[in-house]
Amino acid sequence: MLFYINCFSLLIILKKRVFPYYFIAMLLAYCGSKPSYTEQVRKDFSNRVLKIDSSIRVDSFQLVRMDSLTEKIGQIVFDSMYAREKARLETELIAKKRNQAADTGYAQEEINYMKKEMDSIENLIAKADTVKKYGILARYAYTISKNEKSKTGAVYYFISNNGNVLNPDKITDSVKVMVDQLK
């Protein structure tokens, strides 16, 4: 029924010779409606840089590679991010243990919590679907500058199907390292 109504509407439009105007309006509405995926990520990246240091300029930002992730691969990547964070915390704990005055209780609790989470993620990996799409992993190259100095780096965006950035802290930490090198 809906098909016949749309066809009828199209015939009326054609008879009135309004079709070219209608077509152009629809084309403009479609083309101008949403920025590209890379533009959205570029804006997110620029906002992160500005929050770290408002005097930094993003000179270039370009997509290097984008891969679709299945649920299983997505869980493996998530597990890898947890493992890196756990290793960082363990290194921090060792440094705190050397300092007699430092409180190691919180760091130890955090490591114990992460061990449980990693076990849980490993179980999810074993049961994860190898076909169902989980999200994307995109690698971007960028150049930032400040006071006539510039640095080039790369950053990974791990984004779920619903558009959430799953590694915001890693992105920010990566950019902070580059910003510190510009000083």
pLDDT, residue 6, reads 47
Digit-coded pLDDT (tens) for 74-102: 888 878 877 888 888 888 888 888 887 77
Digit-coded pLDDT (tens) for 110-123: 888 888 877 787 88
Nearest residue to 64 via CA among 174, 143, 130: 143
pLDDT, residue 40, reads 86
Higher pLDDT, 26 or 164: 164
Mean pLDDT (the chain, rounded): 79
| Average pLDDT of span 53-76 | 91
Is pTM beyond 0.75 here? no
Q: What 8-state DSSP symbol labels residue 59?
A: E
